[in-house]
Amino acid sequence: MTKLCPPSVMVEAADQYLIKPVLGAFSILEAIARAGEACSLQKLAVQCGVSKATAFRHVRTLGSLGYVRRAASAGYELGPAVLAFTGDDARERALRALIEPELIALHRRFGETVNLGTPKGRRIHYLLVVDGASSSELRAEVGDADHFHCTALGKAMLAFMAA
């Protein structure tokens, strides 16, 4: 077995169908993710068992795609494009944490379903759903997406959007 840093990227050396530069790029991403802080090129190279030049090429390529970015404190950190894989943006998590108590209060006061959604493209994406008492109503689930004109929440958003 050939070991590339970190341990989750381990492959059979004889597997001719694996693309080693892709494995190297993922090892860089995983090393940065595991560090939890900005990583220097030297640190990435040592952890991943590659030369500093190779680590730089991986970081430069990943950076051009938005998966890695230069950290303010020097070194490299995960970029915003990584969030596309999580399906859960950090801002959305923060928004849910901030708004959830208010949605629960609305639900308790009126007994109706309360939704938190955000516009993405031509649809509204549900971030939080507090179900009402009525079981006969159509329900949105967290992660669902609907066209704006199909929901009350979407229509409310349309009312405040620029034409």
Domain hosting 94: range is 90-159
Spatial separation of the C-alpha atoms in residues 43 and 31, rounded to whole Å: 9
From first to last of the 163 residues of the chain, give the pLDDT tens digit. Answer: 344 454 444 555 567 888 999 999 999 999 998 887 889 999 999 999 999 999 999 999 999 998 999 988 789 988 877 766 765 667 777 788 888 889 999 999 999 889 999 888 888 888 888 888 775 667 788 888 889 998 888 999 999 988 7
- Best CA proximity match to 118, nearest among 139, 95, 138: 95
CA 154 → CA 4, 117, 124, 147, distances in Å? 47, 8, 6, 7
**CATH assignment of the domain containing 107:** 3.30.450.40
> Quick one: 78 and 10 in the same domain?
yes
- Could you give the CA distance from residue 69 to residue 163 in angstroms, rounded to a whole number? 35
Question: Count of domains in the chain?
Answer: 2
**CATH code at position 38:** 1.10.10.10
Separation CA 67–CA 77 (nearest Å): 9
Rg (CA), the chain: 22
Whether the model pTM is above 0.85: no
